[in-house]
Structure 1
């Protein structure tokens, strides 16, 4: 049995490097703690640096015009996996997001976006293909996008509304709770019961009598009425079955796998939202989100060509007429993207892509449309790449925002 788990582990992490198109990476940084390799520490580190041009930036806090070009650290992360025996796994993930000139602090302390805990969970295997676990985890429901990893995105970044609960019921798309996940034949599943965060993006908001909901259920109604969330995602593999040892979904395999998955998922937070009547009395409203999606990633031809395509429909109900900035709203989302790895003999591979979103916004009786076109240059698969993307967002009657971003990424 130990030999079997060792073989599975070696194949998994060798595949993790190879399946993302790197000819050099191999199994990465893995430190065996016994001769059999059944006890180990696995380390993954990555950084994404952005240079972004936007001629439509609003005035800063002092009323001054902002520059068209800026630089930022989009992500800097370290992920640790520790297996103490064949049945137990510990995952710890720390990182930083979106550090720029406005969010830096004089001494690296204070309110800036410093390193914080992304994931911290422990897991117990139940048989060869199933497991249960608990902690601060990323075994999310709803869709592939809501479980997207950031090591191997095909587009520059995930569609923000794809992380549909980020900052509302969780800590940066992670909940504290319990989960079960596994594979049954060609079907993979992940389900969870979690605590809803008390402190969220609307922690200072008080619902008014305009009929619009606020995401303040746990804070205003208490943990008994609004303290738990429920989520699940289920996908069926028509071709190869993906690994689900880790929750982070691959964005593009660059032709090293043959994948066609169809999925469906949900998120439910009873009394997660709150509305106020004309007299100011508040009551809870259920938050419900569900989605259908499909992911297609296959090699094309014999010279390294590949096509990656993803489509998703998401119906989102955050409560009556809910809207938070230009990020979250009760309504619906249709998203699609497609990319093509150009075949050739060179180690450097080019992957042009396009993406499109349409959001229907209930409270505005209007829509938001976002278009993106870009290209990845892979020097060693996803382990070393450059991404250039042009993105255009038209949100209801607001001015169109056009952005050009160049990203450099390395992960080891």
Structure 2
């Protein structure tokens, strides 16, 4: 079996090493190298390509009250991890047909001992009837709601805001669902409409006046996102949206989206009767990215979002991204739970603002390294919390080869909620510091 995989890998490698000489004249990537693409015809309309990326974290975290690593109480943690590893193949056998296959690993840290983390992520095909109508189906991140619901691409800070993929691990697997979608671009307008079979994770028995994920069979997940570009249009070949173009484009886009699942949640009322609740999420957002001085390489990027979520009464979800803790001591735990968990979504309203940009090149003759500072704030006014949940992030990236090789430092400050007479109140705040390196393969 191992010999079989070695042969397959050798064939793929030789295919790319044997890329025809025309590829050497193609547009270079950020490293100044030819892209990892092999054209199947002289017109360059049919191809097979490889891409991917890797993100490594070095992190210091002030842990939530009651956090444990293995069986030991801990108030802080310093760890190394692989946040994401992705390897992607895109195959275009015809001008109309595209097939995408992607595998990878997510949140590989010391707490996942003995776990095989490399898994199938995406496997879907897409047929292009025209620019206005394109149909795809399979397992993918194609979904609606907001600009960043699909996951990360060229983020200004160390990671996407947690609210953006707030259903991760509940109705999806690593932000993926089995789905079919329609998408298209008509002039300055583009859209996506998705119907998916949600996964069933983190189910619980109904609680009094607090919605939880139902144990009943799940219904279809309907979502969509609609966007208008006032200046340059954006590429819709991928489900991911860029967090910054570093001023290479002038983009002002306004978007709106939704995500709906019938009877996803349930709760018990005062008469001990179980009531079903729909998940109804709506969002509007604005994205702006433009050059300030192209010769110096300076640019500005900004993003604002307002989202209304309805999961049923008093629903609040606490999540710790790439959580360094393994458990929590309930005797002195907060409502946040273990590690770096914080309230990221729930029934109510969430607002997000992020601003950043690139500073002048260190050496403008070579257009090489530059700094990219950024900051964000997220405010969530949730029915299940007495106080607002406010999360701050600020950081700076050192861009070695534009966005394809970059080192990012991020400082995050999050609230800690405790139960005060039946009310969830913010009683403390904790810090997390992340040093991330990302390299892109293209």
Bin for the TM-score computed over the shorter chain: 0.7 to 0.9
Check the 8 A contact 2:151/2:175 in 1, yes or no.
no
> Cα deviation per residue 1:377-398 (whole Å; 9 max; x = unaligned)?
1110111100001110124424
- 1:180 matched to 2:149? The reply is no
Distance in 1 between residues matched to 2:254 and 2:27, nearest whole Å: 26
Query: Structure 2: any 5+ residue segments left out of the alignment?
Result: 1-22, 319-342, 418-425
**Which deviates more from structure 2 when the two are superposed, residues 28-37 or residues 178-187?**
28-37
Where does 1:264-303 land on structure 2 (aligned, <5 Å)? Answer: 264-278=256-270, 280-301=272-293, 302-303=295-296
Q: SS of the counterpart of 2:149?
A: helix
Aligned to 1:404: 433
Q: SS of the counterpart of 2:212?
A: coil
- 1:40 matched to 2:47? The reply is yes
Check the 8 A contact 1:309/1:339 in 2, yes or no.
yes
Aligned to 2:5: none
Aligned to 1:306: 299
> Cα deviation per residue 1:333-354 (whole Å; 9 max; x = unaligned)?
1101111211231510101111
Where does 1:110-259 land on structure 2 (aligned, <5 Å)? Answer: 114-150=117-153, 152-198=154-200, 200=201, 202-203=202-203, 205-208=204-207, 210-216=208-214, 219-220=215-216, 222=217, 226-259=218-251
Distance in 2 between residues matched to 1:80 and 1:232, nearest whole Å: 26
**Aligned with 1:24 (options 24, 32, 43):** 32
Aligned to 2:338: none
Distance in 1 between residues matched to 2:349 and 2:131, nearest whole Å: 38
Q: CA RMSD in A?
A: 2.0
> Cα deviation per residue 1:18-59 (whole Å; 9 max; x = unaligned)?
xxxx36256x21122344433321111211000001244633
> Cα deviation per residue 1:352-380 (whole Å; 9 max; x = unaligned)?
11111101121123211111110011110
CA 14–332 in structure 1, closer or farther in 2 if over 3 Å, else same: farther
1:65 Cα offset (Å): 2.7
Q: Give me the TM-score of the superposition, normalised by structure 2.
A: 0.81
CA 14–365 in structure 1, closer or farther in 2 if over 3 Å, else same: farther
Check the 8 A contact 2:265/2:276 in 1, yes or no.
yes
Distance in 1 between residues matched to 2:212 and 2:63, nearest whole Å: 29
Aligned to 2:398: 377
Check the 8 A contact 2:391/2:413 in 1, yes or no.
yes
Distance in 1 between residues matched to 2:270 and 2:302, nearest whole Å: 48
Check the 8 A contact 1:25/1:383 in 2, yes or no.
no
> Cα deviation per residue 1:235-258 (whole Å; 9 max; x = unaligned)?
100010011011110111111111
Where does 1:74-89 land on structure 2 (aligned, <5 Å)? Answer: 74-89=83-98
Distance in 2 between residues matched to 1:256 and 1:263, nearest whole Å: 21
**Which deviates more from structure 2 when the two are superposed, residues 116-125 or residues 272-281?**
272-281
Q: Give me the TM-score of the superposition, normalised by structure 1.
A: 0.87
> Cα deviation per residue 1:223-272 (whole Å; 9 max; x = unaligned)?
xxx42111000010001001101111011111111111000000011111
**Which deviates more from structure 2 when the two are superposed, residues 245-254 or residues 395-404?**
395-404
Check the 8 A contact 2:248/2:290 in 1, yes or no.
yes
Check the 8 A contact 1:148/1:251 in 2, yes or no.
no
User: Which structure would you say has the larger Rg?
Assistant: 2
Where does 1:96-107 land on structure 2 (aligned, <5 Å)? Answer: 96-105=105-114
1:68 Cα offset (Å): 3.3
Check the 8 A contact 2:124/2:137 in 1, yes or no.
yes
> Cα deviation per residue 1:175-221 (whole Å; 9 max; x = unaligned)?
212100010111010001111212x1x23x2112x1111122xx32x
Query: Structure 1: any 5+ residue segments left out of the alignment?
Result: 1-9
Distance in 1 between residues matched to 2:178 and 2:62, nearest whole Å: 40
Aligned to 1:92: 101
- 1:331 matched to 2:333? The reply is no
Check the 8 A contact 2:404/2:440 in 1, yes or no.
yes
Q: SS of the counterpart of 2:73?
A: coil
CA 68–96 in structure 1, closer or farther in 2 if over 3 Å, else same: same
**Aligned with 2:311 (options 318, 321, 325):** 318
Aligned to 2:358: 341
- 1:69 matched to 2:68? The reply is no
